[in-house]
Amino acid sequence: SEAKNDLKHIAVLAFPFATHAAPLFSLIRRLSTMAPKAKFTFFSTKESNNKVFSGQGRLENIKPYNVNDGLPEDYMISFENPHEPVGDAFFWFGADIARELHVPWVPLWTAGPRPLLLHLETDLVRQKMGGDGVPEDRTIDFLPGFSEIRAGDIPEELLYEDAIPEIPAMLYKMGQMLPRAAAVVSSSWEKLDPDVVNQLRSRLHNFLEVGPLVLTSPDPVMSDPQCCLEWLDKQKRGSVVYVCFGSMVIPPPHELAVLAEALEDCDSPFLWSVRDNPAERFPEGFLERTKEKGKVVSWTPQLKVLQHNATGVFLTHAGWNSISESIVGCVPMICRPIFGDQALNTRTVEGIWKIGVGIEGETMTKDGVTKAIKLILSTGEGEQMRKNVEHLQDLALDAVSNGSSSKNLEALLEVVTK
């Protein structure tokens, strides 16, 4: 009976790095309102749990459980130090735990559908595109819908086993295990990339796209300690360049320096989110000289920034959450991919959805950034990108209001509470 289903206890195993635990938490928060009597235990590290549970108020049926990460208290996670334990769909060993417990395994894939399909086809992709002599611009002609994607866009750790030793092994195993899952959930939405979704459906038992999660389960907190929204209120419609490179990496110092020069010299106002100590990262005097036209902060309520009508273009590292949020906010993008799925996301933004551009020459130059900003803010081509992104935004809104994402969410609830 429904009442009995409601009494289920659901164990949730989060991947505690980058923006992985937050979307999983959003999904669980939504499911917990749909099944108020079910209990959810959210397993993650203390640091990650503190972050995702912070400011959420009373959550009757979701409890955090802190898992020791085995690291000293003051250990800093950085890319120079890639030895932390890793694992969400990334934690493929959830399949084994679930089998032992005789319960269904339901992984969440927190990125886009294209990298997911490539991970499922890792052997084929390595065989066709992984050899030494394969030119960077060879396109993928063996999967429908991928003819715009080049060898150089494929995540390195998918293509080469030895890119960063632990990561390819984990992702490879994930690709092997996902077909065993009772359902694979993803934070995308069906009409965004229908060709790819159909291929995923034929490879997985129950592929359920329930996103964009920022709409399926909006974050009730989204604080704005540095008053970015108030600042945006004072800017002209569609004029602001918003810059943010996500939660993990920052472009190298010389690129930040040329980006700062480009922003200082261009006509547009800018809002720049830089973690840690922003002042140390910029050319001398930059912050002082640009304080009238620019605002540099260490955190923004990003979705709200992208939904603000003053924001005209988003310079991003092309992480999946940032791309989804830019679509939801209807803002074309300039992409400077750094690692993982980001080059593939960039190529999809540029070549398939046509809602933005990759940075010319792959690393930022003053000229490249300036040209890209002008293209998006003041040409017909930029205008067309805005129309294209508006179309994708409509598809996202439809998906969550009684469309495919809300249906898939019901189907997911059925799987986890049956």
**Would you tell me which residues interact with ligand U2F (CB under 6 A)?**
18-20, 110-111, 244, 246-248, 273, 299-300, 302-303, 319-322, 325, 340-342
Could you list the beta-strand ranges (E) of 111-198. 184-186
Give me 243's structure tokens. Answer: 């810059």
Orientation of helix 380-400 relative to helix 320-329, angle to 10°: 100
212 prior amide bond cis, ω within 30: yes
Residue 88 is a catalytic residue: yes
CA atoms within 13 A on the CB side of 312: 21
Which residue number, 342 or 417, has a Cβ lying nearer to ligand U2F?
342
Distance CA 361, CA 300 (A): 29
**Minimum Å distance from CB 155 to ligand U2F?**
9
Which residue number, 269 or 329, has a Cβ lying nearer to ligand U2F?
329
Antiparallel, parallel or unpaired: β 207-209 and 184-186: parallel
Torsion angle, CA of 123/128/134/136, rounded to 10 degrees? -80
Burial of 299 (0-12, 13-18, 19+ CB in 10 A): middle
Distance CA 394, CA 374 (A): 26
Q: Report the residue count for the chain.
A: 418
Which residue number, 43 or 299, has a Cβ lying nearer to ligand U2F?
299
**Minimum Å distance from CB 211 to ligand U2F?**
11
Q: Which of these is catalytic: 69, 83, 88, 123? A: 88
Residue 20 is a catalytic residue: yes
**Minimum Å distance from CB 3 to ligand U2F?**
36
Q: Which of these is catalytic: 20, 119, 308, 317? A: 20
Which residue number, 18 or 413, has a Cβ lying nearer to ligand U2F?
18
Which residue number, 343 or 377, has a Cβ lying nearer to ligand U2F?
343
**Minimum Å distance from CB 340 to ligand U2F?**
4
Which amino acid is residue 125, in one-letter code? V
**Minimum Å distance from CB 110 to ligand U2F?**
4
Using alpha carbons, select from 168, 157, 203 the residue that is nearest to residue 184. 203
CA distances to 230, 310, 313, 318, 371 from 382, rounded to whole Å, are 26, 16, 10, 18, 12
Which residue number, 103 or 248, has a Cβ lying nearer to ligand U2F?
248
Distance CA 125, CA 133 (A): 14
User: Would you give the DSSP letter of residue 359?
Assistant: P
Burial of 222 (0-12, 13-18, 19+ CB in 10 A): middle
Please check whether residue 29 is in contact with residue 409, taking contact to mean a CB–CB distance below 8 angstroms: no
**Minimum Å distance from CB 104 to ligand U2F?**
23
CA distances to 5, 109, 184, 239, 413 from 416, rounded to whole Å, are 9, 16, 12, 45, 5
Using alpha carbons, select from 235, 287, 294, 245 the residue that is nearest to residue 266. 294
**Minimum Å distance from CB 414 to ligand U2F?**
26
Which residue number, 345 or 417, has a Cβ lying nearer to ligand U2F?
345
Q: Kindly list the catalytic residues.
A: 20, 88
